[in-house]
Amino acid sequence: MDTKTIIETAEEKLIHTYNRYQIVLDRGDGVRLYDTDGKEYLDFGAGIAVFALGYNNREYNDALKAQIDKLIHTSNYFYNEPSVLAAKAVTAASGMDRVFFTNSGTEAVEGAIKLAKKYAYLKDGSTDHEIIAMEHSFHGRSMGALAVTGNRHYQEAFGPMIPGIKFAKYNNLDSVKELVSDKTCAIIFETVQGEGGVYPAEPEFIEGVRKLCDERGILLILDEIQCGMGRTGSMFAYQQYGVKPDIVTVAKALGCGVPVGAFLASEDVAKALVPGDHGTTYGGNPLACAAAVKVFELFDKLGVLENVRRTGAYLTERLEELVNKYDIVKERRGVGLIQGIELTVSPKEVIAKALEKGLILFSAGTNVIRFVPPLVITESDVDEMIEKLGEALSEVV
């Protein structure tokens, strides 16, 4: 089909849950995407923090092809080697003990909530436990994940939410302490808030919450679906704080395009789930896990974490230049290759103009442009992005 037909058919047949750009993406190579008309785009969105290795990585592609020829799926009533190898890799990288593989980040959050509730139930036999989440957070759009997402706009048409959820202010330890009760079984937040506007946790906050959880017998759940898998310069963002969660969720770059997520837990917490408590048809299948295994191998081979630290520092410098140059750029926030610039105007027009110039960017919060490029970008890619974004900002000003 030609571009026009594809778009018209999509508008006719797909449920309208996205306002899509009038572009049909066709293929990718490295950190660039190409549409069906042949136009090239520098991608600083990576499918929303997914394609960490960039597009068309030959080793990654070959690993998937080999697994497809061998075994794509089997029931979880049987073992398969890729899931075992992936489990070893992700537990070693995270410092956690056990993992449950899911199909998405939202499913990982659902599993984390169930695990926390079951763990608390085994302690006291109660079913009225509470969870503290954060305002302006985002954990997904299924009913459990939506319930702990601190955005009423996302929730209002789908109530009632699951009960027992309270919302504290992110990076405000006192607001968390005020909500803690004898019924509190878990506290959940993103180590770096992504959709909420790119806000990293302050050390005093995350360390204080960890201490509070230890004192009160509460589980700490960290959502690293967007900020994990190397995006901050360490494999998981919490590792930069010297804090370890009881449960952590991961997805997006875990599969670098193949749908795979996971929730991980310490041994003591993980054993709360027993056969019959939780399950999945596709989660942990050989194809998805083969992708995850190859991702970890390529992270080591390509020196991805080192590149994130180096290129992330350069991106920080160049974004700060925009803050100093343009009055509508209020401030920069972020760490590594999850960054944002807050504007004094809506970012919608800036992002649209950047797209015209062949640059893909996404927004976050109400007035933030978010930068979550492939983790293999170079300083040259950053320079090109800054040039195109600067042109877009100048035209809006």
Q: How far apart are CA 32 and CA 258, in angstroms?
A: 18
Residue at which a domain ends, from 250, 275, 302:
302
My answer on whether 320 and 280 are in the same domain is no
Whether 225 maps to a domain, the answer reads: yes
My answer on whether 271 and 337 are in the same domain is no
Amino acid at 353: K
Amino acid at 255: G
Q: How far apart are CA 227 and CA 242, in angstroms?
A: 16
My answer on whether 180 and 50 are in the same domain is no
My answer on whether 38 and 86 are in the same domain is no
Whether 280 maps to a domain, the answer reads: yes
My answer on whether 191 and 246 are in the same domain is yes
Question: Pick from 21, 20, 38: which is nearest to 29 by CA?
Answer: 38
Whether 262 maps to a domain, the answer reads: yes
My answer on whether 260 and 159 are in the same domain is yes
Give me the phi and psi of 236, to 5 degrees please: -130, 140
Residues 6+ apart with CB under 8 A from 22: 7
Q: Are strands 184-190 and 219-223 parallel, antiparallel or unpaired?
A: parallel
Whether 62 maps to a domain, the answer reads: no
Tell me the β-bridge partners of 34.
27, 40
Residue at which a domain ends, from 287, 302, 317:
302
Whether 40 maps to a domain, the answer reads: yes
257: left (phi over 0), alpha (psi -120 to 50) or beta: left
My answer on whether 163 and 270 are in the same domain is yes
Whether 117 maps to a domain, the answer reads: yes
Residue at which a domain ends, from 302, 329, 349:
302
**CATH number of the domain that residue 244 is part of:** 3.40.640.10
My answer on whether 96 and 45 are in the same domain is no
DSSP assigned state of 161: P
Task: Name the CA radius of gyration of the chain, rounded.
Answer: 21
Whether 63 maps to a domain, the answer reads: no
Contact between 96 and 264 (Cβ < 8 Å): yes
pLDDT in tens, the chain (397 residues): 999 999 999 999 999 999 999 999 999 999 999 999 999 999 999 999 999 999 999 999 999 999 999 999 999 999 999 999 999 999 999 999 999 999 999 999 999 999 999 999 999 999 999 999 999 999 999 999 999 999 999 999 999 999 999 999 999 999 999 999 999 999 999 999 999 999 999 999 999 999 999 999 999 999 999 999 999 999 999 999 999 999 999 999 999 999 999 999 999 999 999 999 999 999 999 999 999 999 999 999 999 999 999 999 999 999 999 999 999 999 999 999 999 999 999 999 999 999 999 999 999 988 999 999 999 999 999 999 999 999 999 999 7
Question: Pick from 331, 363, 364, 349: which is nearest to 394 by CA?
Answer: 349
Question: Pick from 362, 87, 335: which is nearest to 206 by CA?
Answer: 335
**CATH number of the domain that residue 18 is part of:** 3.90.1150.10
Helix, strand, coil percentages for the chain (3-state, nearest 5):
45, 20, 40
User: What total of structural domains would you count in the chain?
Assistant: 2
Terminal-residue alpha carbon distance, the chain:
39
Q: How far apart are CA 225 and CA 209, in angstroms?
A: 20
My answer on whether 119 and 266 are in the same domain is yes
pTM beyond 0.85, yes or no: yes
My answer on whether 200 and 210 are in the same domain is yes
Report which secondary-structure segment, H or E, holds 170: none
Report which secondary-structure segment, H or E, holds 343: strand 338-343
My answer on whether 14 and 101 are in the same domain is no
The three-state secondary structure class of 241 is: coil
> Residue 231 belongs to what domain range?
71-302
Whether 192 maps to a domain, the answer reads: yes
Token digits of residue 319: 């974004």
Report which secondary-structure segment, H or E, holds 1: none
The secondary structure of 88-108 as a DSSP string is HHHHHHHT-SEEEEESSHHHH
My answer on whether 25 and 81 are in the same domain is no
